[in-house]
Amino acid sequence: MFTEIEKELCDGFEKHLFAAAQKNLADKSNPLRLNNYSYAMRELTRLVLHRLAPDENVIQCSWYKNETDKEEGITRKQKAYYAVQGGLEDSYVKNTLGLDVDNIHKDLIRVINKLNKFTHIEPNVFDLPEVEVEVLVDETDEAVYAFLSTVNICRRLVIDGLWEHIDSAVIDEALRETIDAIDELATHHFIDEVYTDKVTIYEINHESIMFRIDGSIECELQWGSNSDLRGGEGAILPQTFPFTCELSSPVDTPESVETVEDSLGVDTSSWY
């Protein structure tokens, strides 16, 4: 389970904390090692949740409502919501994407809550025999991994549903983009087809959905004017070039897709 959990963590402090928790657990002379380990792992989930759902982003979501007695207070449930769907409204996720948001978030909160039972120092979880510690550590690790994997699984469900819903809009937007890199190769160029090989929705924040596209462009390069061609002096050559592009759409109108300025890159190195 160690490797599976580590894969879900970011380099830096998250992995350092995880390693320190493992080191603490290895100190069998410490009767608090299980409690300390569980506490460190719960803090690890808090750090991951904060990374996935920064406070300043959560409070800017249209669905945010202060449900605490603190100014601009944020509940763990709201952080879990943001970690999965960003600023997308529940109604959109449920009615348009067809996902059961209530069950998604219940699963997330359930695995976070499971960590709490080991962090409170009570006689039944203090200075336990090695066999019992191993069993409870396994439960703790399973809860942490369930938390990390549930976030990814739920977010993938949202992303897949989102992409299926706005697929044609993204491609249409890419087709309308002026391609300066190809302009430089010939007097004129004509785009025949734009093929999308891979689409990644890499961020859903409080205001935007961000896409990255990898694909290829089939075009015709023309040298000379049309009159030159008719006179036998110009030339036309079909070519295919790979491209990458980033697009975004607002969370309140996901179908309104726009190209991120200066993000379109066409690889014409094969031409040279």
CA–CA dist 122, 100 (Å, integer): 37
| Residue 262 domain-assigned (yes or no) | yes
Q: Do residues 180 and 160 both lie within one domain?
A: no
Q: Is the dihedral of CA 117, 118, 120, 123 positive or negative?
A: positive
Structure-block tokens of residue 234: 């110009």
DSSP string, 39-106: HHHHHHHHHHHHHHS-HHHHTTSTT----SSSTT---HHHHHHHHHHTT--HHIIIIIS---HHHHHH
pTM (predicted TM-score): 0.76
| Residue 195 domain-assigned (yes or no) | yes
Q: Do residues 141 and 192 both lie within one domain?
A: no
Strands (E), the chain: 188-204, 208-223, 235-250, 258-259, 265-266
Beta bridge pairs of residue 259: 247
Per-residue model confidence (pLDDT) at position 36:
86
Last residue of a domain, one of 165, 193, 221: 165
Last residue of a domain, one of 133, 165, 197: 165
Q: Cα angle at 20 between 16 and 21, to 5 degrees?
A: 120
CA–CA dist 130, 217 (Å, integer): 62
Q: Do residues 257 and 138 both lie within one domain?
A: no
| Mean of per-residue pLDDT scores for the chain | 85
Whether residue 178 contacts residue 197, with contact meaning beta carbons closer than 8 Å, is answered with no
Q: Do residues 115 and 28 both lie within one domain?
A: yes
Q: Do residues 121 and 17 both lie within one domain?
A: yes
DSSP 28: T
Q: Cα angle at 36 between 31 and 39, to 5 degrees?
A: 150
Whether residue 34 contacts residue 128, with contact meaning beta carbons closer than 8 Å, is answered with yes
> Would you tell me how many other CB atoms lie within 10 Å of the CB of residue 205?
17
pLDDT grade for 242, boundaries at 50, 70 and 90: very high
Q: Do residues 255 and 230 both lie within one domain?
A: yes
Structure-block tokens of residue 110: 């359930």
Q: Do residues 29 and 151 both lie within one domain?
A: yes
Last residue of a domain, one of 165, 197, 221: 165
Tens of pLDDT, residue by residue over 30-85, are 888 888 888 898 899 889 999 999 999 999 999 999 999 999 999 988 998 898 88
Burial tier of 148 (Cβ tally within 10 Å: 0-12, 13-18, 19+): buried
Does residue 181 carry a pLDDT above 80? no
Per-residue model confidence (pLDDT) at position 175:
60
The strand pair at 235-250 and 208-223 is best described as: antiparallel
| Residue 171 domain-assigned (yes or no) | no
Q: Do residues 108 and 226 both lie within one domain?
A: no
Structure-block tokens of residue 206: 């409080």
| Residue 170 domain-assigned (yes or no) | no
Does residue 178 carry a pLDDT above 60? no
Place of tokens 């409502």: 65
Q: Name, in order, each residue with C-beta under 8 angstroms of 9's C-beta and a sequence gap of 6 or more.
A: 15, 18, 44, 48, 148
Domains in the chain: how many in total?
Answer: 2
Does residue 250 carry a pLDDT above 70? yes
Q: Do residues 132 and 195 both lie within one domain?
A: no
Tens of pLDDT, residue by residue over 123-151, are 877 788 888 888 888 888 888 888 888 78
Closest to 155 (Cα-Cα) out of 77, 93, 237, 69:
93
Structure-block tokens of residue 102: 């209530």
Number of H helices, E strands in the chain: 11, 5
DSSP 81: H
Q: Do residues 160 and 197 both lie within one domain?
A: no
What range does the domain containing 121 cover? Answer: 2-165
Q: Do residues 148 and 34 both lie within one domain?
A: yes
Q: Do residues 142 and 202 both lie within one domain?
A: no
